[in-house]
Amino acid sequence: MKPFFKAVFATAALTLCSIGAKAEVDPNFYIFICFGQSNMEGAARPEKQDLESPGPRFLLMPAVDDPGRGRKKGVWCEASAPLCRPNTGLTPADWFGRTMIKTLPENIRVGVIHVAIGGIHIQGFLKDSIASYVQKAPGWMKPMLQAYDNDPYERIISLAKLAQKDGVIKGILMHQGESNTGDPKWAGMVKKVYDDMLGDLQLKPEEVPLLAGEVVQANGKGQCVAMNKLINELPKTLHTSQVISSTGCSNGPDNLHFDAAGYRELGTRYGEKMLELLGYQVVTPFEVPADAKTAETTIPGNEFPKVDKDGRAYFRLVAPQAREAVVDICSKQYPMRRDEKGVWCAVTDPLVEGFHYYFMNIGGVNFIDPATETFFGCNRQSGGIEIPEGPEGDYYRPQVGTPKGQVRSIYYYAASTNEWRHAMVYTPAGYEKGKKKYPVLYLQHGMGEDETGWAKQGHMQHIMDNAIAKGEAVPMIVVMESGDIKAPFNFAGGGSNRQGFSDYGASFYKVMINDLIPYIDSNFRTLTDRDHRAMAGLSWGGHQTFDIVLQHMDLFSYMGAFSGAIFGLDPDTAYDGVLKDGEAFNKRIHYLFLHCGSEENFGTDRLAQSLRDRGIKVDYQVSQGTHHEWLTWRRGLHLFIPHLFK
């Protein structure tokens, strides 16, 4: 019996009798070489699920001694993080192994040999350049090189030869390239390392593929994302290589290393690709808890998306020909998993209550989930999902027995811009049956949204109906226009966004004053004096409210901004000084309301205080626990309207 197997038997926690009982090679013991730099070494702190061993079917042959964990170089042990060296982190190899044993038959075991050094160039694994590379290596890298006796390649080969006495090498996993970003010779050097390994271990290339993972993408902001072009072209040079996509794999704040969830996903993809190459059908079950319910934003006739009691969203997409798919919710990407029928599924982290825009993505192209209603947001038509509140959200839900108003779609001609324009107009319950005249609230949406936003995403009509029915708000007409802010603003070169001198959306200002207000007053029964006219808006709509109202105080007497994009306002100089004299301002504006979410840090509190310092009466309120989102703005509108026209 070999000495290293005696050491394994001496460890009471291990039950590796099947290894020690046989001196011959076990064809059902699949061994994989894992090498590379920091992302293979592991830069994320392992979490509880990573530290628990999956059992004796997933083994590690340590490349260095780790006395603290009872590990000895060259002696098989159960695999759990960290796999590389003491004080390293979670790596793709961890969840590669877990994915493998989850699908492989029970009689097959998986072993990994793991050698990686943070920051190392591919030259550090080339036999003919290792010595010179070590001499020139930076001081911080030298202790890591010394852990492998200054020859990481030789350490791989010596351990692999030892492992070949017990099992069969089935593949090589590599994650390297960040230090060689843009190097046109990289692919050739990878091929040289691969060829050397196969030659030294007497392996056949058709039986031992190399799997190479992409580097961190970070939505195009990865520090080395340009390297992915070379990685994706590697199969042109090394025909037995396979590229593992990092699309949707989450990363740490440095945009260079994956976070724990990203390593799990990337490792799972390594495992699924290897299983496919080995001829195994990978089935990824999609379990949905019994409490999950079809989202209210789902198109009738579809079961998904669903939402569970904890706010997790579940998505499903049928795309048999897709290689990978992602759900993108507010720029956070969730990789989808594929089953044997080509059905892709994903589950999110718990999402905050309220409305969320989202897209699906295949091959880098965003598209709208065909199972969801569409909403104009993010400067285009988008998918959307509602994470429901409890009974506290009833103020924006239709209620049985509550009289319902109407939301009308109108087109009007704007002579100011020589074009036909579209707006939405809410009229309160009973409007069409009487002759009563009503005050008017002009209500604006935010950047990248349109005139339908307040009705579709904001449920404005239900907020109004319920508040009016309870006597909390007076019946009023509400007018919503696009405001010319559907397209994004080019902050780098798009002109001024200073209060009173805005370029973005400023084309709407003359339309509102010269065309929209006259049209509404001519075609609806309105009270046309300033005491019965208000304006409010969310985000950039709040900015527009300040620009329009404070330069036309002869037309408005109420104003509000929900998460208003009002930055750097100097009350002493802005708008020709109308904010400088608080007493005079308070005589003209009957009510000024500022509102924001507690989590968005939009500076609304500082704006409110700067106005109060001038003696201006400001009602400033905060939506607890919400960000820059529709739930914040629904709450803002609900708090604002009871103060109007009273």
Phi, psi of 537 (to 5 degrees): -165, 160
502 is catalytic: no
Could you tell me how many residues make up the chain?
Answer: 646
Task: Please state whether beta strands 354-362 and 326-329 pair in parallel, antiparallel, or not at all (unpaired).
Answer: antiparallel
65: burial class by Cβ within 10 Å (0-12, 13-18, 19+)? middle
Eight-class DSSP state of 289: -
Yes or no: say if 312 and 340 are a contact pair by the CB < 8 Å rule. Answer: no
254 is catalytic: yes
- Please state the separation of Cα 133 from the chain's center in Å: 39
Largest CA distance in the chain: 101
- In order, the DSSP letters of 310-369 are TS-EEEEEE-TT-S--EEEETTEEEE-EE-TTSEEEEEPSPPPSEEEEEEEEETTEEE--
How do the residues of the chain divide into helix, strand and coil, expressed in percent and rounded to 5? 30, 25, 45
Among candidate residues 323, 225, 213, the one with its CA nearest the CA of residue 265? 213
List 257, 445, 595, 628, catalytic entry: 257
239 is catalytic: no
- In order, the DSSP letters of 372-395 are B-EEEETTEEEEEEEE---GGGGG
Dihedral over Cα of 15, 16, 18, 20: its sign: negative
Among candidate residues 173, 149, 114, 162, the one with its CA nearest the CA of residue 2? 162
d(CA 335, CA 357): 17
- For helices 92-103 and 260-277, what crossing angle results, to 10°? 40
The Cβ of residue 49 has, within 10 Å, a number of other Cβ atoms equal to 13
The Cβ of residue 367 has, within 10 Å, a number of other Cβ atoms equal to 11
d(CA 115, CA 36): 7
Task: Determine the residue type at 438.
Answer: Y
List 149, 195, 254, 349, catalytic entry: 254
> Is-cis flag, bond preceding 82, omega within 30?
yes
Yes or no: say if 117 and 41 are a contact pair by the CB < 8 Å rule. Answer: yes
Catalytic residues: 38, 254, 257
